[in-house]
Structure formats: structure tokens, C-alpha cells
Structure 1
């Protein structure tokens, strides 16, 4: 997991005092008897409004309906959660139910025997979820976690600035995007906001271009072969460099953070740039980071990452991720039933109504109020394929190398041919 997960989660970035929240990792009360007294130790990172009270209320309702079950909730700030989970898993004592983003970290937990294969347990109800949302939690055709929130990365744009630049429709191809960037610059407007300091936002471009050029198969093959030194990945860097060479980013972007008062989200939220490539949480972070605390409102639009002419991928393939829960190896019997309760359509609607969650249960989509969030949800529902963020999909060291190498490409210190060699070297060392 990487340091930006708190931003991706949308849900728990404030620094609650972790010291007052850290309870024991394991319950002493493990039993296979579904009617016996049980304690479910549940760790999550929704430690602030709006989701903190929602989760608490659902747990209380479950306890009321199941007098033999106690749900011990440990809401943790994101970084505190990661640190404590690392300690617990290294000790072989994972919590009973805990936050996960799937991908490479979950793979390591599966390999270590720390989490349960819940494939058979969830079969009666897993069909109610968006198929794309399950992919990061499915390893070797077995389900190890269930997502409660899912989203995708795409371009968020300022409709007013597009109109000022004479652009009547969002671009649908890479060539059109480059043309749009040129028009926006010619109008005296900054085309794109980018948090260069944090590196992960830049990796979105290279990852999406790799998908559009090589298709999902190229990314999957790279994971198996530990090899990124292929024409498709080189081409992704070459195409990204076409954009970089247009100097589309705001002044000082290499030192810019994502959520700071002068960072990427604030630049967008204050109307200082026409576009940003970001996940489904973008509108809320734009608003909270903006001077007005309201963001762009109705001026904000969304469009998918464009197609690349001649590429093997399609616009219907989505890149993103979400939040989910996995079940620890020693979890009591009631844990899976409680997990099922969290994922009922009614409870997913409660989560979606906060505006902080894009639900994974199909029938809960009607609770999404924001117009742009509806577009994202519709795009995900229609997705023909799904790729998890590369810095989560691959082993952590490989994900970090992707971020570092793409940052070098953005800064102009490495060429497209060089970064794939560096990423491959790290992948083969794992």
C-alpha cells in the first residue's frame, strides 16, 4: 500500500488519535459455533465523518439482532492502520475483518495464509456486486475479499474553461487530447494540474496509456513475466512524453502535492487549470482544498481516458480501485454473516447517500446523488475490463518503482526506454 491511499479512500484522512483506538488484534473468543458468544474485531479507516457513524450504526444494529455477537470496531487513520496491520500480520494475528485494497498486498497476505478463502461462503449473494469491483480481491479465481466502494480514474474538466478555449466536446482519442491541450494553452489557460511531488498521480497516465496501447493482457503478462521492457510499455512512455513535451502542467508542478492548499486538487477546485486525471474522489477533494470550500460545482465534468489510435485496448476498460474488507484466518463464524450485512443493498444505499462511497452493489446505484459520480458509476457498470492501480496491483516494491520511474519521465531525467528497464529490474528482483 502506498501513502496516497488515504486520498483514494475518500473516507478517513483526518488524524484521529490512533493511540486511543488501538485494541488487541485478535479475539480470544473464537468459535465455529454460530450460536456461541463471539467478538468480531473490525478494523477500518473510515475514522471521520461521514462514514464513521454509518459503520457504527450498522454494527450496533447487527449486535441488537444477534445478541451473541459483539462487534469491536477499531477506526484508524490510514497510516496508523497500515502500521498496525503490518505488526499484526507479521505476528500472524490478523484482525477478524479488516480494510483492504486488494492487489499485491492481498496476494502477500494470501500467500502467508493470513486471510480466508471466502469463495464458497459468498456465492449466494456475490452476484449482486459489480463484477469489475471484485477483480482486485480475486486471486487465482478465488475470492478473498469483498469491496464496498469502487471507482475509476478519468479526466475531470472545467466546462467553463473548455468553452473559453473554444472546445465543444471532450476528446475521445489521444490525438484529440493533445489538440485540446494546445487550444487551452493558446487561450492562456493552464491545461492540466499535476501533483508531481507525490508521484502516484503521474503513474495514472503511463498506466492508462499502457492499457490503451497494449490492452489489459499486456499488464497481466508483465505481472507473470516480471518484464515491462516490451514495445507496448515503451510506446506508453513515448505517448506520455508527447503530452509532457507540450508543457501542459501548472507552474511548480514538480514540487506540488495533491491535497495541499496550493496542490493539484486546489488548482482544479479554484479554477486554475482545465483538467486533472484523478479518481472518483476528485470532486470532494477539489471542494475541500479550494478557497471557497465548494469547488467547481456544476462547472465540473468527467470523461474517460481517451483511446489510442491503433491500440489493443478500448475505452471500455477501466483503471481504478476501491475499498473492501477481507476476513482474517481466525475470524469467528459470525464474521462472514456480518460482512454480508454490510453489503446489503439497504446498507450500501446508506453509504452511498453520504457521497463518500460509490457502491459496489448494483441495486444501490440509485442512491448516488452527484451527477458526475453517476457518470463514473455508469462507466464502471459498463466496463468490459478492470485494472487495479499499478502501485497496488503489483508487489509493493514494483509499484513504488513504477511511481518513481514515471516521475523521472515527467521530470525529463529518464527516457521511455530507460524506465521500463528500471521497472523490469525491480520486478525480477522480487
Structure 2
């Protein structure tokens, strides 16, 4: 027989267990409904507004998530304060990394994304720059090309019926535009990333084997001073300055874009990332490669400009939701459509149809070519790129001769080649 004390214990258990169980269920439910804020560092000012709209679109279907977008870039250096934030544990949950050397440099901040569903859908070679020891640490943002954006109407009025494929033809086209009363180039060299990142990548891409050339530089078996590709780069910069709007060194990205959009100049040295800034102006524009020499085999410099990465330091809930957001970007129909139509991205994923028209179409056709030239600036350290930008900015300001400029590039390489 059960004693009285045992009966009392059983009765108490029957009374309190349901309430405890209900409380546990309630807590579990609350945890599941807890609002999680995911901070995203967006490095593209061109897509600031539409990216905010895309974040709100995500929030509608994911009511337990808030997306806070911090847009940097343009005039700002989008990596100038990121390391400081990360060092004190206050970095964003999602940010970007350019891959190559930067993958190793930031590895201790990067979450392993190898098991995410989009990995298998990435186009060939797009994940290589962000992969180390067989692990994938970032999702390709998009595919871009860097070259010359031109106004087709102004070219036609100037009598240019064939796109330049050599430097001599480029110079002749600039002369025709000038005679027609149109400024050929809307120069914007205030931001050093154009000079130190994009234009130097073009000169590296001109090498027969860019990686071998870098190795020769590291072994003191080659120099910028004696290199034809970099000599030709300075010649091209000279052409833009001779046939361009004045005050190039103090003209920023936005002013350059305004001059082009308003028809004040026929060309800008930029990439297809400017397409979101051109849409409402209804310009008839195209894109062609920058010809540095007279060989006639010029191509766009193309590739993945950067990768979305997840902050390894973030709390588990934030990391979980950050990964879900990236999966949504890559896999959902609404996000794919938004990126194609609103952000004007060329997708790095096979399942998303590439563009056929506009400057994005031009960039995609160049990217498809097997012998395309890649963004080699990603292969060397950020301090190197910054140094290159400062040196070329001095050249634009006419503070240094060609030879002094090339020699300073040599000095910068020796100083920063092994920089962490």
C-alpha cells in the first residue's frame, strides 16, 4: 500500500508538472519568436537604396528577423574601420571579403560556409579565391567587368562607327569626340581605389602570366620600371587627362557620374556596377575593354569583385540568420529577381539566367570567354593597393614623372609584398 506521504508527493507532482511543462513550452516558443537583428555591411553605394528595399522584402517573409544595412564605399574606404570593429567584437554579422590574400588575412573572422546549399550552384572557379584548405568561406556577390562605359549617341554623332580595340584607335576616337565638341572622358580620380585597384589590375592582366610576373617581382627578377604593361597604363592615363574634364584628381565618383549622365562627357573608366546609377537617365550606353597597346586583343577585366562572408564572432542566433539570409539571396525566386532587375547584378550562380543587354550583357559576354582577364588586384595585399593608389594619384597631379612613378611602384612592392 502507498503511504500518506507518498500520496501527497504524487498529488503535488500532478499539480506542478503541467504548469512547469507549460512554462517550458512557452519559453521555447518565445525563444523561437525572438527578434534577431542581422547587421550587413554593404560596400556598394550604387545599390544603397534598392538593397534597403531588398532587406525589407526579406523581413516581410521572416518577421522574426530585422536587417540593419550599413552602406559604405564610394568616397569612403569601406575597410578603413572594419578591422577596428572586429578587434573589439563589434563587427557586422555579414560583410565582404575580396578573396585571395584577404581570405587568409581575415580567416579568423570568417565562418565556414562549405555546407551551405548554394555552394554547388556557384559558377566554375568563382569560389576558388575564397577557399582555403578545401573550405569555402564566402558567397560570391556577383560578377563584374571593368573597362570603358561609353555613350553610343555621342559616339555616333562624332562619326565613330567602330569601337577602339587598340590604343591608336582609342586616341583617334578621343580626337573625334573632342572635334565634335564633346569632352571624351569624365575623369574621376579622387578615389584612389580606381587607380590603385582597378587600373593597376588592368596592367597586371596585360602580362602574359600575371601570377608569374608577381613572382618575378617578388624575386627581384622583374620591375615595374621596365615593364611595358605598366608603361602603357601611364600612357592611357595621360590620354584620359589630355582629353578629359579638368581637375581629375579632385573629381570624385559622384561628380564623374553626373558629368557622364548629363551628356557632358562621352566616356567613363568604370565597371558595369554603375548600371543602377544610369537606369533612370535612359542613356544608350555600352561597354568595351580598355586598349593599352596596339595588339588588338583587348578584353575586359572581369571576375567576382567580393564575397559575402559571415562574422565568426557573431552570436549563434545572428550567425544562423545571416546564413539563412545568404541562402535566400542565392536560392529564392524573389531575391534572384530582385538582384537581377533592381541591383542589376550578373549572378555568379548557374541557376540564374545571365543578362543579354546593356553594359551587363557586354560584361557577361566578355566573362564567358575562356581567356578572360581577371581581377588580379585581389591577389596582392590591401596595403599594396593603397600604396599604388597614392602613387598614381601623385602622377595624376603631375607631381612625379613616369619613371619616378614606376620606381615608386617598385619600392611599394618591395615594402608591402609580404605585408600581412
* TM-score bin (small chain): 0.7 to 0.9
Counterpart of 2:394?
408
**1:338 positional shift:** 4.3
**TM-score between the two structures when normalised by the length of structure 1:** 0.72
Separation of aligned partners in 2, 1:83 and 1:231: 27
**1:165 positional shift:** 2.5
One of 65, 68, 72 as aligned partner of 1:71: 65
Separation of aligned partners in 2, 1:80 and 1:183: 36
Separation of aligned partners in 2, 1:419 and 1:81: 25
**1:252 positional shift:** 2.3
**Matched positions, count:** 371
**Structure 2: 5+ residue runs without aligned partners?**
1-31
SS at match of 2:206: helix
Separation of aligned partners in 2, 1:254 and 1:211: 24
Cα distance change of structure 1 residues 258 and 88 upon mapping to structure 2, 3 Å threshold: closer
Counterpart of 2:264?
272
One of 79, 84, 89 as aligned partner of 1:87: 84
CA distances 1:323-361 after superposition (whole Å, capped 9, x unpaired) = 532122255373545432321151222222214433222
One of 287, 295, 299 as aligned partner of 1:302: 287
CA RMSD of aligned residues (A): 3.7
Counterpart of 2:248?
253
Counterpart of 2:50?
50
**1:157 positional shift:** 0.8
Contact 2:141 2:304 in 1 (8 A): no
Cα distance change of structure 1 residues 220 and 109 upon mapping to structure 2, 3 Å threshold: same
Contact 1:355 1:370 in 2 (8 A): no
**1:48 positional shift:** 4.4
**1:128 positional shift:** 2.0
Asked whether 1:109 is paired with 2:106, we answer yes
Which stretch has the larger CA shift, 320-329 or 246-255?
A: 320-329
Counterpart of 2:331?
344
Which stretch has the larger CA shift, 405-414 or 232-241?
A: 232-241
| Structure of greater Rg | 2
**1:372 positional shift:** 2.5
Cα distance change of structure 1 residues 236 and 104 upon mapping to structure 2, 3 Å threshold: same
**TM-score between the two structures when normalised by the length of structure 2:** 0.74
Separation of aligned partners in 1, 2:236 and 2:292: 15
Cα distance change of structure 1 residues 108 and 194 upon mapping to structure 2, 3 Å threshold: same
**1:208 positional shift:** 0.9
Cα distance change of structure 1 residues 100 and 206 upon mapping to structure 2, 3 Å threshold: closer
SS at match of 1:362: coil
Counterpart of 1:7?
none
One of 340, 347, 363 as aligned partner of 1:376: 363
Counterpart of 2:409?
420
Which stretch has the larger CA shift, 209-218 or 249-258?
A: 209-218
CA distances 1:96-116 after superposition (whole Å, capped 9, x unpaired) = 433444455443211xx1212
**1:50 positional shift:** 1.4
One of 352, 357, 374 as aligned partner of 1:364: 352
**1:134 positional shift:** 3.3
**Structure 1: 5+ residue runs without aligned partners?**
1-34, 65-69, 288-293
Q: Where do residues 54-203 of structure 1 align in structure 2 (5 Å cutoff)?
A: 54-61=54-61, 63=62, 70-78=64-72, 82=79, 85-92=82-89, 94-110=91-107, 113-119=108-114, 121-122=115-116, 125-131=118-124, 133-139=126-132, 142-203=135-196
